[in-house]
Amino acid sequence: MPNGSLHEWLHSNEEKAKILDFPLRVKLALGIAKGLAWLHHGYELHVTHGSISTRCILLDQNFEPKISNFWEAKFWSKNDTALSWSLFPVAEYSGLGSYKQDIYCFGVVLLELVTGKEPHELTSSRNLFDHSPCLLDADRDLLGKGVDDLILQFLELACTCVKFFPNERSTMLEVYDTLRTISQGRTDWVRGIPLSTEISSLYD
């Protein structure tokens, strides 16, 4: 991909990270969420990715995110019976748990987007499982530009995704819907991703 991985842009050097302003980060999050929601809910056979991270999010010339690295993906029938397993299946993440694993990993991606920190920095600095988000957690370069309220909503959504108990995490449809709400009225932020499209269209 022309622009490499999201991880490179967030963590390789400060100058690259500064190019990713908050509107662009929202656009990236919304694109990834839409892709995952479609995988989880849009196929006749549902798909869980298994290893979502900023390293497997590739960016095209227009900074549209593309999900890659499907080597741990699993396919599920409508009753969530596994039809194929990854090379290294983990019992905890069978059935419903596999969806919730993807949601947790996506929550970590959201936290990276809004804090600018790598996952190991997030887990060492604060407990992701018991996190009361505040603007002090956000990347300072994103603040003070008239969207601090949206940044806080973004943080709150990320923390919902990484709740300790999987059944307390949102579904990807709910996460996608919340991201659309955060970006509502900011259509210039998300060119190429029609906000008017209903969530139900992901099933088409």
DSSP per-residue string spanning 8-27:
HHHHS-HHHHHHS-HHHHHH
Q: What's the CATH code of the domain at 126?
A: 1.10.510.10
Q: Within a domain: residue 195?
A: no
Q: Within a domain: residue 142?
A: yes
- Please count the structural domains in the chain: 1
Q: Which residues contact 62 (CB under 8 A, 6 or more apart)?
A: 192
Q: What's the confidence (pLDDT) of residue 97?
A: 65
Q: Within a domain: residue 75?
A: no
Q: Within a domain: residue 158?
A: yes
Q: Within a domain: residue 196?
A: no
Q: Which helix (H) or strand (E) holds 119?
A: helix 119-125
Structure tokens at 160: 């919902």
Q: Which residues contact 128 (CB under 8 A, 6 or more apart)?
A: 107, 108, 111, 122, 159, 162
Q: Please tell me the pTM assigned to this model.
A: 0.82
Q: Which residue has the tokens 């600018």?
A: 116
Low-confidence ranges of the chain (pLDDT < 70): 43, 77-97, 123-132, 185-204
Q: What's the confidence (pLDDT) of residue 31?
A: 96
Q: Within a domain: residue 79?
A: no
| pLDDT one-digit tens code per residue, 58-107 | 999 999 999 999 888 887 766 655 555 443 444 344 456 688 999 999 99
The boundaries of the domain holding residue 173 are 6-70+91-186
Label residues 165-184 b or e (16+ Cβ within 10 Å = b).
ebeebbebbbbbbbbbebbe
Contact between 33 and 176 under an 8 Å Cβ cutoff? The reply is: yes
Distance CA 48, CA 70 (A): 9
Q: Within a domain: residue 86?
A: no
Q: Within a domain: residue 191?
A: no
Q: Give CA separation, 100 vs 125, 144, 145, 146, 176, in Å.
A: 24, 34, 33, 33, 14
